[in-house]
């Protein structure tokens, strides 16, 4: 009996340690809904900076619990339509935003970077509202995401050696994202990336509207300059800077 009680106590303490490993009511989205696809781009080199950002030590979506539960509800609705959410960014350590600031001021613009900013110099991205030195992502209230058609072939992978076209090009020419065609790639700082951009096709517009509607039914609000960016009013608060660590199973 003593051995059994010891095992149970160790299990309880381990569970508490896991539950307390994130501050401020944050949780790993996989612990709430493992069916939601994740492609946390700032933990990789496949982003506008071209390397992992400071604080991204794992490609895990971390969210406030309320946000996670609402995402789960969106996912359940989409599942009946053979669709899934795909997360590009969730909680963002404050140090990552400062990393973006330093990048914007380094005086260089590579060909790969220009794929994301085909018409706007990166020194202008903050002034125009595409990047913020203090991001809602750091409060846990903001998300970047898209839709995946689960019936489609989503097997194409990003190849850093490929000379892809910029983010406004037709879907077959720009880097693959394994998602529906929203008219631009993720993090595309161009007017075509504005949610209501008139220059996209009717089918692309329909996908954007479908995403906005599904998220809106759970209280999420879209940012008009970025079809992929959503926030949940009232879910934020103070900004955090804890790093994103690998999730413990």
Q: Say if 9 falls within a structural domain.
A: no
Q: Say if 4 falls within a structural domain.
A: no
Q: Say if 219 falls within a structural domain.
A: yes
Q: Say if 60 falls within a structural domain.
A: yes
Q: Tell me the per-residue pLDDT of 66-80, one tens digit each, with 9 for 90 and over.
A: 999 999 999 999 999
Q: Which single residue is written with the structure tokens 């065609």?
A: 181
Q: What is the pLDDT of residue 135?
A: 87
18 annotated as a binding-site residue? no
137 annotated as a binding-site residue? yes
Domain total of the chain: 1
Q: Tell me the per-residue pLDDT of 194-219, one tens digit each, with 9 for 90 and over.
A: 999 999 999 999 999 999 999 999 99
Q: Annotated catalytic, 16?
A: no
Q: Say if 242 falls within a structural domain.
A: no
Q: Say if 160 falls within a structural domain.
A: yes
194 annotated as a binding-site residue? no
**Higher model confidence: residue 21 or residue 105?**
105
Identified catalytic residue from 16, 109, 203, 226: 226
On the question of pLDDT at 100 being above 60, the answer is yes
CATH number assigned to the domain comprising residue 76: 3.30.1380.10
Q: Say if 182 falls within a structural domain.
A: yes
On the question of pLDDT at 10 being above 50, the answer is no
- Note down the domain range covering 138: 29-231
Q: Say if 5 falls within a structural domain.
A: no
- pLDDT-derived band at 11 (thresholds 50, 70, 90) equals very low
**Higher model confidence: residue 88 or residue 15?**
88
């Amino acid at each position: 009996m003593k051995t059994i009680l010891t095992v149970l106590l160790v299990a309880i303490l381990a569970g508490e340690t896991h539950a307390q490993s994130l501050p401020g009511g944050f949780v790993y989205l996989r612990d709430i809904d493992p069916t939601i696809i994740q492609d946390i781009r700032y933990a990789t080199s496949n982003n506008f900076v071209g390397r992992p950002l400071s604080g991204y030590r794992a490609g895990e979506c971390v969210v406030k619990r309320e946000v996670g539960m609402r995402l789960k509800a969106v996912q359940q609705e989409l599942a009946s339509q053979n669709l899934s959410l795909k997360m590009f960014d969730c909680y963002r350590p404050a140090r990552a935003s400062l990393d973006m600031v330093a990048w914007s001021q380094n005086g260089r613009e590579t060909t790969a970077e220009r794929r994301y900013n085909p018409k706007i110099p990166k020194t202008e991205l903050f002034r125009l509202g595409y990047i913020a030195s203090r991001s809602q992502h750091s409060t846990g209230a903001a998300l970047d995401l898209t839709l995946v058609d689960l019936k489609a072939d989503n097997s194409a992978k990003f190849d850093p050696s490929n000379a892809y076209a910029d983010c406004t090009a037709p879907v077959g020419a720009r880097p693959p994202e394994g998602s529906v065609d929203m008219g631009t790639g993720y993090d595309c700082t161009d007017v075509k990336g504005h949610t209501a951009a008139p220059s996209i096709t009717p089918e692309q517009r329909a996908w954007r509207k479908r995403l906005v509607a599904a998220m809106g039914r759970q209280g999420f609000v879209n940012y008009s300059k970025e079809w992929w960016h959503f926030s949940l009013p009232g879910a934020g608060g103070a900004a955090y800077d804890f790093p994103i660590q690998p999730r413990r199973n």
